[in-house]
A and B are shown apart, each in its own frame.
Chain A
């Protein structure tokens, strides 16, 4: 194993060297680094200065080795010899990179997690209902997501969703006719994607109509969009829903003990509602994290002691419920800050931001700044999620279909296991194995992968840095971006292979 990893790492270094040489030469050859200075009245001084600063007199091949010498300094630990050169404006590439990386990671994390969760869920569901209306619908949607040009989607979100929604917020009212129309459309969609006997499907359609109508009416009647709240009743309702869903998926409703443990966790969360409010006053990230951990532990504890014959299962169900209850509590606190955030002088009632990563000049406590981050990340995250969702959904669907045709699944059915156990225990877990590789590869590619989304939403991340430097024919920042993406990709490729061999014992790495 060790020799395998060592061998992979040595090859990786050699490949990285070769690729970095190619990238450097291509960047240097891709244009004239002085192009913006020719019309400048001060060209006489500026051109020699830049030639001097960027060492343009030496041929690119030699400049590459200068750069490599500086980059090699990064390998010496704690020596502070790390230098990736300077950009055209004279900034250190290392500091540019560390800022850009922070921004990009902030941008892509939530989008990736959402894409993985939603994509896999959609894929599994459509595999379980193969050739149903739901399956065809999901298939078409994923193909559409595959085919969406990212920049078009991003501009669309920016110009249509954000601006229209902000306009709508000024006066959130709809005529009864349009509420009915929306509910009707959603009811029809529920009918089309539901499955089973015609009577069940019609019932689902009616249910969809009623639920949509109720939600829209409630939101409008209470002016929820401008004064969002959860409060104890909504937390209780959502919490019970979460508890039931978690039980159905992870233990089956027949396991009453697990269900009661999950419901008990919800109850604990509700009891904690008022004490937690004062705790949240001067809160920070650690308070929120702490609360989440405490709730998960409380849930797991209740589940463990109430679990009866299967303590592990009870603990898992109630722990997951606890996590979501903590989430609801935090969400409720964020919502309490929403009106003051929206009406503050910097926002002026148009909360959904279309550019930048934060409102300039806005100051406030943890909750206000969190909301500000949320409104800025919302649109890019939707965009990235939609774009990345398609491949996860397709892969998980294919993988699930293959697993469901395996002999051991038939055996599981034959020995009388419930459908839930067959799907969740035998099929789902195995279907995830190939996806682990995909996820690892994707994370490797993501750090540099949001170039277009970043440029549309004016996020000053890695992508923006790269595009700007390519336009300026400025090799050092380009090399910095490449180095980070290349190393991350290499490492995650290795991780993907190792994870696969751990998850699937049939696959062995060549030691």
Chain B
């Protein structure tokens, strides 16, 4: 950052945005490597990834997955004696979990176990929604964008029909359907979780479908697609080898953001009593059961909320980091630099201003900001 740089020149495609690095040092990197490198250079996203992984590992290992028992001694529905009014025993100084780290409810159930089960189920719903919505959205968007004609007409009218029903309304109705269906078939309650994920996924793909269609529409007119077609490639090959790899960025980013809204949607439905049902715990159901006890046992309300916020926040940051990583045109515009250069002041003229500028833009160059593109 020693030389004043032209401010408005976009970084050449394929060049790592790190400042001061010479282009010849970075030759021969694949798109995947570049994306990985940019993603892992983003402090916010990496921290979020670590936190999210921690939450996943904590919830999976503590209660275990169905056949494998976890290391936590209480189960979510085991009642017991209420110790010390159910106050949380988690302490940082000295670090220790104690008997009930997150506290107990009035029946003596362990909140940590309940919260972990809720987290597990919320994560399952989230992942199922991501997979289902991602698949359906990509297929519908891809087919209608590539083949145009009546395929597009039919699929896009279908998208229009679904998108006009507000997502909360659609998801609430589908959630009710899932519950009724699971109950009438005598399935274990866990099936509700998966069914809820499936149906919410089936409700939330249209925005992704539209985006993917748009991407396909522009990409199919590009020269390399024409070249492939002239070389005799089949439609399948063009779609999978030439177009789809170019849309991976858009799809990944949007699935991530879709998953973060899915977890909010699931907890909201469970809060309204239209999602995960007793005896299973969802983070939303925990809050709705315990909000009346707020005055006496506030921790019953705080912990589930903290977990929802943590999961949604980390996923949003990861999605944003991915967006920046996939966007090869990392344009950095710095109005303060623009004004300084514009007003003819060079960096040696005023030391104070230079320090502030250099430190802020240097930091920005080192960590491709957590917010480069914003929401588009």
Contact = CB atoms under 8 A, between A and B. Distances in A.
Interface of A: 11, 14-16, 18-19, 22-23, 26-27, 29-32, 128-132, 135-136, 139, 143-144, 146-152, 155-156, 159, 163, 195-199, 391, 394-395, 397-399, 401, 404-405, 410, 413-414, 419, 445, 448-449, 451-452, 455, 466-467, 470-471, 473, 478, 481-482, 485-486, 489-490
B161 interface: yes
Interface in B340-376: 342, 352-353, 356, 360-361, 363-364, 369-371, 373-376
Contacts of A143: 313, 316-317, 320
A445 B364 CA distance: 36
Nearest to B291: A155
Contacts, number: 179
A197 B353 CA distance: 6
A401 B335 CA distance: 10
Nearest to A416: B342
Most buried by B among A130, A195, A445: A130
B295 interface: yes
A155 B169 contact: no
A455 B268 CA distance: 11
B342 A413 contact: yes
B172 A470 contact: yes
Given A147-B260, A198-B356, 6 more contacts: A128-B335, A131-B364, A151-B268, A151-B288, A398-B376, A470-B176
B374 A394 contact: yes
Contacts of B169: 23, 448, 451, 466, 478, 481-482, 485
A467 B172 contact: yes
Contact of B335 (A29, A129, A478, A481): A129
A26 B171 CA distance: 11
B374 A467 contact: no
Most buried by B among A148, A152, A198, A467: A152
A131 B172 CA distance: 40
B288 A147 contact: no
A11 to B, nearest CB: 8
A438 to B, nearest CB: 10
A419 B339 contact: yes
B273 to A, nearest CB: 7
Interface string B312-344: 110011001000000000010111101100100
B63 interface: no
Contacts of B267: 149, 151
Contact of B177 (A14, A30, A159, A445): A30
Interface string B167-211: 011101110110110000000000000000000000000000000
Nearest to A407: B8
Nearest to B269: A452
Given A16-B164, A398-B376, A147 B264 contact: yes
B95 interface: no
A413 B375 contact: no
Nearest to A26: B173
A15 B374 contact: no
Interface stretch (B16-24, B101-109, B123-131, B301-309): B301-309
B160 to A, nearest CB: 5
Nearest to A493: B164
Contacts of A470: 172-173, 176, 274
Contacts of A489: 164, 166
29 contacts: A14-B157, A15-B160, A26-B173, A29-B180, A30-B180, A129-B336, A143-B313, A147-B309, A147-B313, A147-B316, A149-B271, A149-B312, A150-B268, A163-B295, A195-B336, A195-B356, A196-B356, A197-B353, A198-B356, A199-B352, A395-B376, A452-B271, A467-B274, A470-B274, A478-B169, A482-B165, A482-B166, A485-B166, A490-B164
Contact of B334 (A131, A146, A391, A410): A131
Contacts of A196: 356
A19 B161 contact: yes
A26 B8 contact: no
Contact of A394 (B264, B356, B375): B375
A401 B327 CA distance: 15
A58 B371 CA distance: 55
Contacts of A414: 342
A131 B335 CA distance: 10
Contacts of B168: 448-449, 451-452
B362 to A, nearest CB: 10
B42 to A, nearest CB: 13
A136 B317 CA distance: 13
Among all A-B residue pairs, the 8 with the closest Cβ atoms:
A398-B374, A147-B312, A30-B176, A147-B313, A394-B375, A131-B364, A152-B305, A159-B294
A196 B361 CA distance: 13
A471 B275 CA distance: 12
B309 A155 contact: no
Given A29-B177, A131-B369, A22 B316 contact: no
Contacts of B177: 26, 29-30
B74 to A, nearest CB: 24
A31 B184 CA distance: 10
A433 to B, nearest CB: 14
B91 to A, nearest CB: 23
A487 to B, nearest CB: 9
